Amino acid sequence: MRDAFISKLAELAESDSRIFLITGDLGFGVLDDFAKRFPKQFLNAGVAEQNMTMLATGLAMEGRIVYTYSIGNFPTLRPLEFIRNDACYHKANVKVVCIGGGFSYGALGISHHATEDLSILRALPDITVLSPGDDHEAQECTVAAAETPGTVYLRLDRASMTIDEPTAEPFQRAKARKIREGRDVTLVSTGGMLGETLKAADSLATRGIQARVLSLHTIKPIDRAALIAAASETGGLVTIEEHTVDGGLGGAVAEVLLESGVVPARFKRIGLQSKFSSVVGSQEYLRTRYGLDAPAITEVTSAMLRGPAIRLGNQEGVLTP
């Protein structure tokens, strides 16, 4: 997704001199061409992510549309206070770009595992949170970030992925993208987990289970209508994220449904279960280790559908299995 993002950003910079890119002293192999073509729209802030964010806010308040760029947690958790107090509070056109969400940099250990960012960033006021599922969505989200007033968080997987789904709906910001139709269950995916989700949908189909697949590329604002429809029209919802289950995609979906008075027949969150990853390895290895790969998604979904449906337990509306 990194190359998809840079190529689309270069297109934007060519037609709009307000586009500005700041890097935290990395990505030179990828950014060299951009820096040469647009020297007045590029800056290396050095290993100083807090300064990078303050610089971005200042430039944005002078009329620029500024993208800050770094890997894993570096552009988010390190300068979190500056994103909150400077960018969000002033509704500045700062677009925070993380290359390497989830376990993208799994071999580098916990410091590079971006597995809490969605829950933390979506809690901030006046921010839009984008988490594309493939290269196409990454490019569309790059454009959407530029067109969206105020602060935006753009979370990208390190790996490149292109899905071939002729029936997939076109991209719209803040609208879940229906990739496949199905009535038995809905698989709600965000970010780089879309590929594993589609593989799981294929496996479920061999068992006679037709899964609706939604790519929730916009976490905030969230598409309430698509989620309510999925809960009402299918036999259950499974949320899938390369992120902690605490406050991430699954939490956001549950909030929408319960606040809307819609109870899905069944509900399950698949993600990192409230722990740090204590091991290192490739992204593929860590997904398998923590039950985030297609076989695990298939088994969890199948078991959920075999289990009892959710019912209202009493007049107060307490949910009981």
Burial of 126 (0-12, 13-18, 19+ CB in 10 A): middle
**Side chain identity at residue 107, one-letter code:** A
The strand pairing partners of 71, in sequence order, are 99
Kind and range of the H or E element at 103? none
Give 194-248 pLDDT, tens digit per residue. 999 999 999 999 999 999 999 999 999 999 999 999 999 999 999 999 999 999 9
Which domains does the chain carry? 2-156 (3.40.50.970), 177-307 (3.40.50.920)
Contact (CB, 8 A) for 303 and 185: no
Helix, coil or strand: residue 68: strand
Q: What single string gives the DSSP state of each residue in 248-259?
A: SHHHHHHHHHHH
The strand pairing partners of 156, in sequence order, are 99
Mean pLDDT of 153-182: 92
**Side chain identity at residue 31, one-letter code:** L
pLDDT of 190 over the 60 cut: yes
Give 104-163 pLDDT, tens digit per residue. 999 999 999 999 999 999 999 999 999 999 999 999 999 999 999 999 999 999 888 888
Confidence (pTM): 0.94
- Per-residue pLDDT at 229: 97
Both structure tokens of 266: 């069944």
